[in-house]
Structure 1
Amino acid sequence: MGNDELVSECVKRPRDRIIDTAQLLFRKHGIRGVGVDAIAEEAGTNKMTLYRHFGSKDELIAECLRDTASGVEPFWRDLEAAHPGDGMAQLHEWVRAVASYASMEGGGCDLLTAAFELPEPDHPARLVVEAFKHEQRNRLAALCRAAGIVEAERLADALGLLLEGARVNRRTVGPDGASANFVTIAEAVIASFSAAAGAQAARD
């Protein structure tokens, strides 16, 4: 760590340092593989401070996921800025962008990983995951509608399933597996729904 990075870490509030540290350790060792003692020590604080800010490890996990989820807003703004008023162009840009994220080394989705690690339906982190996934699905459906897709909800579900399947496939098979074809398959699915929309418009 360079001097500038060290200074930056030192001036961060303990709460922010704990979140940043927990996110890194969870990604490296898994949520179940990291205890609060290790997080507090790595963050340069103590367990008492951690519990004062978060109450429990479960609440810390949930807050880490909320922090990750909040980072998606620039993604949607960038889609609109790249193709203002053109829903179909934004939809194709969405495909390319999420494919890039899904193909990153060690990539995947922190929220998806947490859902696998935390099967308890009432775990506070799972509630964060479910709320985020529902919101993203609804935003994608709205984008599909803006692109002129009649069955926007079905297309959003199809693309969402393709994306999560691609993420899992990349982690289990590697970058040369079926996930490498995500863009091609997603574009074909969009074309199919778009053609159906065109046929429906012609009949009307």
Structure 2
Amino acid sequence: MSQSIKKDTLLEVAESLFYEHGFRGVGLKQIISEANVATMTLYNHFLSEDKLVEEVLRRREERYWSYLDAHVEKDSDSPFILAVKAHGCWLEEQSCKGDMFLRAMEDYAGTDNEIETIARGYKMRLLKYLQQLAQRKGKDNERDLANQLTLLLEGTTSLTTLIGAEKATEYSIAMAKTLVQNTS
């Protein structure tokens, strides 16, 4: 197995375990065992568990943005609705048990590391993305609309754990239509 395949395997296994059991509920020995690699392989790629978590979050964020970009036609009549639908599909396929970035912010709050910064950066990037969509569509008060839509997506993520992604997305699409109609 090549080094890049081993690294990818480590990252996939770590993400899966972190998502399923939380960042604090998984040890490096479990990741090494389930990835079927030597301990030195992990340390050759990651200097510490924090560095592994950082890379897991960066890769997950990269996948989210690729997913969103593939589903949202920014020049369409309703990019906001497309963004809500895309987020709902992401939840159904990749994130039905909650928000990994929020978990990271909670687990690593105040620990003076890059993990919390990466997670907060993702949230800020989502807000900025929606604000840019609002500007592109000529919406008045684009900052308020972006905040409202971000809150809507965050709520959809939370509600997914209770009622499922499909139903949560259905509600969020209806709310997004109302929000967009009420802004000029």
1:68 and 2:60 equivalent?
A: yes
1:143 aligns with 133
Give the structure 2 partner of residue 201 of structure 1: none
Secondary structure in 1 aligned to 2:50? helix
Which position in structure 1 is the counterpart of 2:83? 94
Is the contact made by 1:101 and 1:107 (CA closer than 8 Å) also made in structure 2?
no
Counterpart in the other structure of 2:25 = 33
- SS of the residue aligned with 1:15? helix
Mean Cα displacement is larger for which, 47-56 or 149-158? 47-56
Superposed CA deviations along residues 32-71 of structure 1, whole A, max 9, x for unmatched, are 1110111111111122221221111111001100011111
Q: Which structure has the higher relative contact order (CA within 8 Å, separation 6+)?
A: 2
Note the residue ranges of structure 2 that are not aligned, 5 or more in a row: none
Structure 1 vs Structure 2: percent identity of aligned residues?
24
Taking the aligned partners of 2:29 and 2:83, their CA distance within structure 1 comes to 40
Distance in structure 2 (CA, Å) of the matches to 1:85 and 1:158: 20
Q: How far off its partner does 1:160 sit?
A: 0.6
* TM-score where L is the length of structure 2: 0.85
Structure 1 position 127, deviation (Å): 1.0
96-105 vs 121-130, which moves further: 96-105
Q: 2:112 aligns with which of 86, 103, 122?
A: 122
Q: What pairs with 1:4-19 in structure 2 (closer than 5 Å)? A: 10=1, 13-19=5-11
- Return the letter of the residue paired with 2:54: A
Pair 1:111-2:83 in alignment: no
Q: Distance in 2 between matches of 1:128 and 1:138?
A: 15
CA–CA separation in structure 2 for the residues paired with 1:41 and 1:138? 40
Structure 1 unmatched ranges of 5 or more: 1-9, 198-204
CA shift at 1:94, angstroms? Answer: 1.1
- Aligned pair count reads 181
Residue 69 of structure 1 aligns to a residue whose secondary structure is helix
Mapped to 2, the partners of 1:167 and 1:47 lie a distance apart of: 35
Out of 173, 179, 187, the residue aligned to residue 177 of structure 2 is: 187
Q: TM-score, normalised by structure 1?
A: 0.77
One-letter amino acid of the structure 1 residue matched with residue 83 of structure 2: W
SS of residue matched to 2:148: helix
Specify whether residues 44 and 102 from structure 1 end up closer, same or farther in structure 2 by C-alpha distance, changes over 3 A only.
Answer: closer
Report the Cα offset of residue 154 of structure 1. 1.1
